[in-house]
Amino acid sequence: MRIIYFLLSLLFSANAISTQIDYLITNGKVFDGSLSKPTFSDIAIQGNMIVGIGKDLSKKYQATTVIDAEGMLVTPGFIDPHTHSFNDLKSKSQNSNINYLTQGVTTVFNGNDGRGSIDINGIAKSLKINGIGTNTAFFVGHGTIRQQVMGKADRMASNKEIETMKSLVKSAMQQGAFGLSSGLYYVPGNYANTEEIVQLALEVKPFNGIYESHIRDESSYNIGLIGAVKEAIEIGEKAGIPTHLAHLKALGVDVWGQSTEIVNIINQARKRGLKVTADQYPWLASGTNISSALFSRWVRADTEKAYHTRLVNSELLPKIRQEVTENIRRRGGAQALLIVNTKQPKWLGKNLQEIAFLENMSPADTAIHIVLSGNASVASFNMNPKDVNKIMQQDWLITSSDGTKGHPRKFASYPEKFEKFVKNTKVISLATFINQSSGLVADTLGVKNRGYLKVGYFADLVIIDEKKYKANATYHEPEKLSEGVVYLWVNGQLTINENKYTGQKAGHVLRNYMSSLD
């Protein structure tokens, strides 16, 4: 009789449990990536997909691993729309992208600022062989294309050159680029006129791609912040595609307070039916280099040799010094430019004013000396908190890092935003923070089946201990990993387990034209 009862109990148990799964997450405070209120739901993961969300899923599924998320946040994996992580991903030592994983980021975009590769297929193949810790997606870069076709020539493109560039954009879109990026502030992008970008952006439209831009001027360098925002919107409108403004800011004392006007310009464009969005990193300092920050485009034209020759030309130096001095003022003074990455150890961690004193030079001559010595990366403290807050509160705004070496934004942007703007100052709500980091990013950039916690979506998700979620990186120690991500999955693979990286490299290269082709 005991054997019969035992067999019957096994039979009833088998009937009660219908499906075997890999992971069951229970008791967590679940934010689904939208602006909806959180729920206390279970989440079932099988393979690389979310297969169930609801109450008491243990009655429906038999899980190999059950994770109790009581007291923690369960969210979609964050999607960073603007990184410079490609070199890390293709390396052997940093391809885990652990600095992003430990922030809760499961997908990163590359190819921003006009620097995206044309060869998406080649990239996808090499990264698959190498293995990557996060998913990644790509823009094709206007600057990359222009330089391939025209070098760094400071002139308008001919009709023939535009046709060649258009064919390269089309090829990259066919290979899966999500859109065209531009860096109209940088060489060689800033040598192009508006119509050139419109012509190239037209090639993006058949693929439902977007135009993503580091706009021509975030300050008062040339056409001004307001003029540059209008130009970006004009390009998207003429090409018939969405416009996305990268790391939107009011950079420098001349344009502080203009956030109100640019927000109004964007909102008016959206009321006309245009799709205009932007991203932002949560820091008061931008990240660039001495050359890009302080030297005019005419000085930087053509080859590096030609550029450096101008910097020692006695006839040109008075004009160059005058322009550099003005650009230092525009950015808040020499004390506002902190050297964060350089080949000269004695300069690291010092601002331009301190280095000028050390070298017994004027700040302008010090900047010239730095460029001739190999250039240097800087954290440029040029933003006003009121502008940052105003932009962050817009319903078309998403979070980014624009992660670059030497700036803490590469290691800490998401917990920094959570700590400073959600927890401490309450500029935005927790639901808004998560939406700006996940679902709204997917909607903005056209990422399919990610960014939300939904059945049938890829299992990119994160469990965060909000009491411990914090940024450790600073301007003086920019490469300290963040804390508070307790569990994280990339494509269903447990990549962070109890706060520790598991060694999994489960990331895929995402493409625009087929959501299942990773």
- The per-residue pLDDT for range 209-238, each reduced to its tens digit, is 999 999 999 999 999 999 999 999 999 999
At 297 the pLDDT is 86
Distance, CA of 510 to CA of 135 (rounded, Å): 7
Amino acid at 353: Q
Query: Does 497 score more than 50 pLDDT?
Result: yes
Distance, CA of 140 to CA of 173 (rounded, Å): 8
At 146 the pLDDT is 98
Helix or strand holding residue 62 (H, E)? strand 61-68
Query: Does 513 score more than 90 pLDDT?
Result: no
Query: Does 358 score more than 90 pLDDT?
Result: yes
Per-residue pLDDT tens over the stretch 26-70? 999 999 999 999 999 999 999 999 999 999 999 999 999 999 999
At 59 the pLDDT is 94
Cβ-contact 108, 479 below 8 angstroms: no
Query: Does 247 score more than 50 pLDDT?
Result: yes
At 316 the pLDDT is 96
Average pLDDT over residues 112-137: 97
- More confident of the two residues 409 and 518: 409
Average pLDDT over residues 428-433: 98
Query: Does 514 score more than 70 pLDDT?
Result: no
The pair of structure tokens assigned to 199 is: 């012509």
Percent of the chain with pLDDT over 90: 94
At 302 the pLDDT is 87
Average pLDDT over residues 333-339: 96
**Confidence class for position 5, pLDDT limits 50, 70, 90:** very low
**Strands, E assignment, 192-306:** 210-214, 243-245, 276-280, 285-289
Average pLDDT of the chain?
A: 94
At 89 the pLDDT is 98
Query: Does 15 score more than 60 pLDDT?
Result: no
Percent of the chain with pLDDT over 70: 96
At 9 the pLDDT is 41
Query: Does 6 score more than 80 pLDDT?
Result: no
Per-residue pLDDT tens over the stretch 251-299? 999 999 999 999 999 999 999 999 999 999 999 999 989 999 999 989 9
Helix or strand holding residue 150 (H, E)? helix 142-150
pTM, two decimal places: 0.93
Peptide linkage before 408 cis (omega within 30 of 0): no
H helices then E strands: how many in the chain? Answer: 19, 21
Catalogue the long-range contacts made by 149-155 (C-beta closer than 8 Å, 24 or more residues apart): 150/188, 151/188, 151/302, 152/187, 152/188, 152/191, 152/301, 152/302, 152/303, 153/188, 153/191, 153/301, 153/302, 154/188, 154/191, 154/297, 154/298, 154/301, 154/302, 155/191
**Confidence class for position 4, pLDDT limits 50, 70, 90:** very low
Q: Which of 232, 114, 244 is nearest to 169 (CA)?
A: 114
Average pLDDT over residues 420-447: 98
Query: Does 2 score more than 90 pLDDT?
Result: no
Query: Does 390 score more than 80 pLDDT?
Result: yes
In the three-class reduction of DSSP (H, G, I as helix; E, B as strand; rest coil), residue 7 is classed as: helix
Query: Does 117 score more than 90 pLDDT?
Result: yes
- Return the axis-axis angle of helices 194-201 and 159-174, rounded to nearest 10°: 40
